[in-house]
Amino acid sequence: MKRILITGNNSYVGNSLANWLEKDPDNYSIDKISLRDNTWKEKDFSKYDSVVHVAGIAHRKETKKNKQLYYRINRDLTLAIALKARNESVQQFIFLSSMSVYGLKEGVIDENTSLNPKSHYGKSKLQAEKKIKALTTYNFKVTIVRPPMIYGKGCRGNYQKLAKLAVKLPLFPDIDNQRSMIYIDNLCEFIRYLIEKSSSDILCPQNKEYVNTSEMVRLIAQEHGKRMKLIKLFNSKITMVSNETIKKVFGDLVYAESLKSYRGLDFVDFRKSIKLTEE
């Protein structure tokens, strides 16, 4: 029986992971803890085999006012939780970082890609990575997970924006792009695998297939009984635009095949993941 502590009572990934592991009560015992106040400091971590730290600041517009909040929550709080875990003999600390640590809007990320985050979100995540990696010992394994865009039923962020467009628009640009994404159940299964593996590593999980944005929007529309027509009429103009939002939607941004870490895991395929998300 593995005893797991998940940080963040209101975390989408945290709640999804808890539900995923609770399907196997013979092998996993799950507790969640809020970090919104200092009561977590009184919690006894010594009874847990793994702490999965998913709590953090994301999906909000960065401003001068909230700049320090990213570093206080994503970096400093992460270090404090990891230190408590190590000091109380937890064997493994899993940290949910982000693809943002690379700072790329377009391109292919591989083993040689430099870490150069542009946002406070990305910078705070990378600084947290460096601080907790330094805590690694033979008895305290630190595992860092850098997922791309996460989607699934009830998710937040860009997927929901595209899903709203999919049910409203009769036409959508037909752009042949590729994006690395990961369905929430696939991410949860991957974290379960890491709990069992219990090693120090930095990993970049993703779906088995790269995602084409136009095809994803078409499939979402289809799940709602809508017929979406994909057109190439404005392709040349769209690909010439340097707007950041356009790049996020239609640009290519993938983890290289060499970074895929799902081998042997029972991942849901892309088409089925859209059906499960939208049903």
- pLDDT tens-digit map of 5-52: 999 888 999 999 999 999 999 999 999 999 999 999 999 999 999 999
Give me the mean pLDDT over the 232-239 stretch. 70
Which pLDDT band holds residue 66 (cuts at 50, 70, 90)? Answer: confident
Which pLDDT band holds residue 67 (cuts at 50, 70, 90)? Answer: confident
262 in Cβ contact with 206 (< 8 Å): yes
Cα–Cα distance measured from residue 174 to residue 250, given in angstroms and rounded to the nearest whole number: 10
Q: Residue 263 has what pLDDT? A: 64
Which pLDDT band holds residue 244 (cuts at 50, 70, 90)? Answer: low
Q: Residue 109 has what pLDDT? A: 96
What global pTM score does this model have? 0.93
| DSSP-assigned states of every residue in 210-234 | -B-HHHHHHHHHHHTT--PEEE-TT
235: tokens are 């392709």
Q: Residue 237 has what pLDDT? A: 63
Give me the mean pLDDT over the 66-83 stretch. 93
Write the DSSP symbol of residue 43: S
Which pLDDT band holds residue 243 (cuts at 50, 70, 90)? Answer: low
49: tokens are 């085999």
Q: Residue 269 has what pLDDT? A: 94
Q: Residue 232 has what pLDDT? A: 85
Taking all residues of the chain, what is their mean pLDDT, rounded to a whole number? Answer: 91
| DSSP-assigned states of every residue in 134-187 | TT-BTTBEEEEE---EEE-TT--SHHHHHHHHHHH-SEEE-----B-EEEHHHH
Percent of the chain exceeding pLDDT 70 equals 94
Give me the mean pLDDT over the 48-61 stretch. 87
